[in-house]
Amino acid sequence: MLSRRRLLLTLAALATTPASRAAFSYPQVVPRSLAFPQDFGAHPDFRTEWWYLTGWLGDRARPLGFQLTFFRTRTDVDPANPSAFAAHQLVIAHAAIADPAHGSLLLDERIARAGLGLAGAASGDTDVKLSGWYLRRDPQTDTYHAQIAARDFRLSFAASASAPPWLQGEGGLSHKGPDALQASYYYSRPQLKVQAQLTRGAQVQKLSGTAWLDHEWSSAALAPDAVGWDWIGMNLDDGSALVAFQIRRQQTGEPPVQTYAAIRNPSGRVQIATPADVSFAPRRYWNSSRHRTAWPVAQRITIGTRIFETRPLMDDQELDSSLTTGAVYWEGASELLEAGQPVGRGYLEMTGYVAPLKL
């Protein structure tokens, strides 16, 4: 989503001097048709962009969750600055494994300026890299390949698509607030089939599963009274996919700034809910001692006449990215239930509970 990450643009000051800065504008999100494969790649003129891939591996007896996100942000460094060391673009990456046997996330993160062969996000198709980590799409097979050598684990996988990109909102234009400019370009790739290898210490596991990829880019900020959001991306067992989010207001008890929900059935037919028919309600909280925050890790999500509930794979899926994106959020592998029965699996993401989210 537009507000998914608080990107620390001030980090660019470490790589440049005030004399190398210039005032310029960022392009805004306006109605247009997304075009592929071009829009699989980076859009470097826009301020923020991310490729966000989450999924479940293993069987129901011993499942694992995994998350990989690459961010690109255009800084306010003068585009005319020719120095190879000027931080025109920053690339950030997060990776995490959710294993109930461990009890909290195994996670790692990286940040670097684009260039010098170490980090970058290519235009034309998905190809992002950072210090040996990468996510790339093979255009011949429509398969995403990734490799992550993290502190406590090593993960490589292939995630294959079997359907075209799912354009969210109005043909890929996703509203995030009442202002027309508070929007992002947004598409999803649900129901990705994954083959993975996970290494932890001397243990090597060959695993299969299902994943979800979101790609968004924008230059807009949150509405002034927005505090953060709750978002789900769920792969349903019958081959359907469900996405829903709310952007919460800072005033407790006030209606959300924005709500959205859509369901795509196995044949590709999409139903988008009326915003007034979408609501989130906490069902159970987990208290983080690290940040003295109560996270609603189990939520009830009402979409018209259908009522869903999320159930976390484990409670402690808090991710502190203060050193890279500046945000603390809960990024959790979760089951989806309807009428008390499991109907799918995916991720619940929540921000703005520790502090209001600012872009």
Q: What is the pLDDT of residues 100-146, one digit of tens each?
A: 999 999 999 999 999 878 899 999 999 999 999 999 999 999 999 99
What's the rounded mean pLDDT across residues 199-203? 96
Q: Is the pLDDT of residue 282 over 70?
A: yes
Query: What is the bridge-based pairing of β-strands 293-303 and 306-312?
Result: antiparallel
Residue 4 falls inside a structural domain: no
Predicted confidence (pLDDT) at residue 66 exceeds the cutoff of 50: yes
Those residues whose C-beta lies under 8 Å from the C-beta of residue 338, and which sit 6 or more positions away, are: 306, 307, 308, 309
> Cβ of 342: how many Cβ atoms within 10 Å?
13
Burial class of residue 38, CB neighbours in 10 A (0-12, 13-18, 19+): exposed
At 152-194, the pLDDT tens digits run 999 999 999 999 999 999 999 999 999 988 999 999 999 999 9
Q: What SS3 class is residue 349?
A: strand
Q: Are 209 and 55 in contact (CB under 8 A)?
A: yes
Q: Considering the domain boundaries, does residue 1 fall inside one?
A: no
Residue 107 counted as domain residue: yes
Beta-bridge mates of residue 276: none
- Cα–Cα distances (Å) from 196 to 141, 260, 299, in that order, read 17, 32, 29
| CATH classification of the domain holding 241 | 2.40.370.10
Element (H, E) at 158: strand 154-160
CB atoms within 10 A of CB 208: 13
Residue 6 confidence (pLDDT): 39
Q: How confident is the model at residue 323 (pLDDT cuts 50, 70, 90)?
A: low
Question: Are 98 and 66 contacting, i.e. CB atoms less than 8 angstroms apart?
Answer: yes
Contact 192, 213 (CB under 8 A): yes
Q: How many CA atoms lie within 13 A of 288 on its CB side?
A: 21
Tally the domains of the chain.
1
Q: In 3D, which of 96, 12, 103, 115 has the Cα closest to residue 55?
A: 96
Q: Is the pLDDT reported for residue 2 higher than 60? A: no
Asked if residue 48 is part of any domain, the answer here is: yes
Domain assignment present for residue 355? The answer is no
> In 10 A of CB 132, how many CB atoms?
11
**Segment 27-55, tens digit of pLDDT:** 999 999 999 999 999 999 999 999 999 99
Length reported for the chain: 359
Which residues face 136 on adjacent strands?
127, 145
- With a CB cutoff of 8 Å and minimum separation 6, the contacts of 108 are 94, 95, 96, 148, 150, 151, 152
Question: Do the domain assignments include residue 225?
Answer: yes
Task: Flag the least confident range among 94-98, 204-208, 255-259, 321-325.
Answer: 321-325
pLDDT of residue 155: 98
Radius of gyration (C-alpha) of the chain in whole angstroms: 19
| CB of 64 closer than 8 Å to CB of 56 | yes
Q: Which residues span the domain enclosing 332? A: 9-350
Closest CA to 3 of 293, 281, 358, 280: 358
Is position 53 within any domain? yes
| pTM (2 d.p.) | 0.91
Residue 280: pLDDT above 60? Answer: yes
Of residues 166, 237, 158, 148, the one with CA closest to residue 193: 158
Is the CB of residue 187 less than 8 Å from the CB of residue 39?
yes
Question: Is residue 228 one of the residues assigned to a domain?
Answer: yes
Q: 343: Cβ–Cβ under 8 A, 6 or more apart, which residues?
A: 236, 237, 238, 308, 336, 337
Query: What is the amino acid identity at position 180?
Result: A
